[in-house]
């Protein structure tokens, strides 16, 4: 197992790297978010260990950017923030597991090995289909009932996130974090504009609408 550790506390990182190597694994280290993002983007690691609080780019932003780029390497989040709300934020940002500090190395190792096994047995999904609407992440193409649909890059990201969560309500906050990489409300109508544009392209010329607004909650893609 090859592990990338993204941790700015050098003592904590050295202890973790040492433990991984003694357990027979290969371990690489990045000490800030930007370097970690660059190394993780190479997709040579089986699993990532990402600290929440990082210089340059925080851990959740690193994970969100990886997921937005279609990089699905399993991520174990490490954080001193251990309450339920913080865990939910981490998992919604794209993390696969969450471990609060301080932790036992044996537990961390077991979790990493579990994530690695899960990744090995689950093929990466690169195509999603709902009600005749298909998005192909490798070909970067979208079509509905055999009709090709041309999307701008941000529209494609928006559709991809909705399709990955098909049948579930996606909130505005989730869209801001996962499509625009915002971790604050920019107080603009950027989501409304892009939803309107996307709806006009995937629904306007077809009999059955797939993109629905859930009043007071968010949006969802589903075939009724």
pTM: 0.57
The side-by-side arrangement of strands in the sheet containing 47-51 is 26-30, 2-6, 47-51, 75-79, 97-100
pLDDT of residue 120: 58
CA dihedral angle for residue 95, residue 173, residue 7, residue 68, rounded to 10 degrees: 60
Written as six digits, the tokens of 117 are: 């096994």
Give mean pLDDT, residues 10-30: 92
- pLDDT (0 to 100) of residue 122: 53
Q: Which fold has domain 127-221?
A: Arc Repressor Mutant, subunit A (1.10.10)
From CA 196, how far away is CA 74, in angstroms rounded?
A: 33
Is residue 117 predicted with pLDDT exceeding 70? Answer: yes
Mean pLDDT of 143-160: 94
- Does residue 214 have a pLDDT over 70? yes
3-state secondary structure of 223: coil
Domains of the chain, by residue range, sit at 2-121, 127-221
- Do domains 2-121 and 127-221 share one topology? The answer is no
**pLDDT 10s digits, 158-169:** 999 999 888 888
CATH homologous superfamily, domain 2-121 = Response regulator (3.40.50.2300)
What does the pLDDT average to over 171-175?
A: 88
Bridge-based pairing of strands 127-130 and 133-136 is: antiparallel
Mean pLDDT to the nearest integer, 160-187:
85
């Amino acid at each position: 197992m090859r592990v990338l550790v993204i941790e700015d506390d050098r003592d904590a990182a050295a202890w973790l790297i040492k433990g991984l190597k003694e357990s027979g694994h290969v371990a690489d280290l990045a000490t800030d978010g930007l370097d970690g993002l660059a190394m993780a983007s190479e997709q040579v690691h089986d699993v990532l260990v990402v600290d929440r609080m990082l210089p340059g780019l925080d851990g959740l932003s690193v994970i969100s950017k990886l997921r937005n780029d279609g990089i699905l390497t399993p991520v174990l989040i490490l954080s001193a923030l251990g309450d339920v709300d913080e865990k939910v934020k981490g998992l919604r940002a794209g993390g696969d597991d969450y471990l609060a500090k301080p932790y036992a190395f044996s537990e961390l190792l077991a979790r990493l090995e579990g994530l690695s096994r899960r990744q090995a047995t689950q093929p990466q999904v690169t195509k999603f289909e709902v009600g005749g609407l298909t998005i192909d992440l490798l070909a970067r193409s979208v079509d509905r009932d055999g009709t090709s649909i041309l999307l701008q890059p941000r529209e494609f990201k928006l559709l991809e996130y909705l399709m990955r969560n098909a049948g579930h309500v996606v909130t505005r906050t989730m869209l801001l974090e996962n499509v625009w990489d915002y971790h604050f409300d920019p107080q603009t109508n950027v989501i409304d504009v892009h939803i309107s544009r996307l709806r006009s392209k995937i629904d306007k010329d077809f009999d059955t609408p797939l993109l629905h607004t859930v009043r007071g909650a968010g949006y969802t893609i589903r075939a009724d």
